[in-house]
Homo-oligomer: A and B are copies of this chain.
Amino acid sequence: MHITKDLVAASATPLVLGILAEGESYGYAILKQVNELSGGQLEWTDGLLYPLLHRLERLGHVESAWQTPESGRKRKYYRITDLGRAELAEQRAQWTAVVETLRGVWNSGPMLRPIAAPAWGV
């Protein structure tokens, strides 16, 4: 299953903030995590993630710091800020609202009768 561009875009920010809410991490690791975590359905590229991280930092939702492990390359670790946590909560609320609306439509709730249902082709 290939996931729509729009859906990928809409879920990117809450996913990253959600992951960082559990602990610091860095770009490459986040990438692997998301790709595995979704069973390969969300095919993120680094070209998607890095600009997003930069944007989140510019907005003050995350902070970053370089770290050089004993062995291996330098990594830029990201940490969520209080503002970021607030944003995450906001995003969760929005997702909940939209999912509720969709569920309403998909379950054909009684409030969803069409306003007019004329015979087709008259």
Residues of A within 8 A of B (CB): 1, 3-4, 6-7, 9-11, 13-15, 18-19, 22-25, 29, 32-33, 37-39, 41-42, 65, 67, 69, 77, 79, 90-95, 97-99, 101-102, 104-106, 108, 111-118, 120-122
Contact of A38 among B13, B15, B101, B122 (CB under 8 A): B101
Contact A15 B102 (CB under 8 A): yes
Cα of A9 to Cα of B117 in the assembled complex, Å = 27
**Which residue of B23, B39, B112 is within 8 Å of A117 (Cβ)?**
B23
Q: How far is the CA of A24 from the CA of B116 in the complex (A)?
A: 8
Known contacts A65-B120, A114-B25, A1 near B101 by CB under 8 Å:
no
Contact A7 B98 (CB under 8 A): yes
Q: How far is the CB of A67 from chain B (nearest CB, A)?
A: 6
- Docked-complex contact A79 and B120, CB < 8 angstroms: yes
Given A18-B105, A98-B11, do A23 and B114 touch, yes or no (CB 8 Å)?
A: yes
Cα distance, A87 to B75, chains bound together (Å): 41
**Which residue of A6, A91, A108 has the most chain B CB atoms within 10 A of its CB atom?**
A6
- The smallest beta-carbon distance between A86 and chain B, in angstroms, is 13
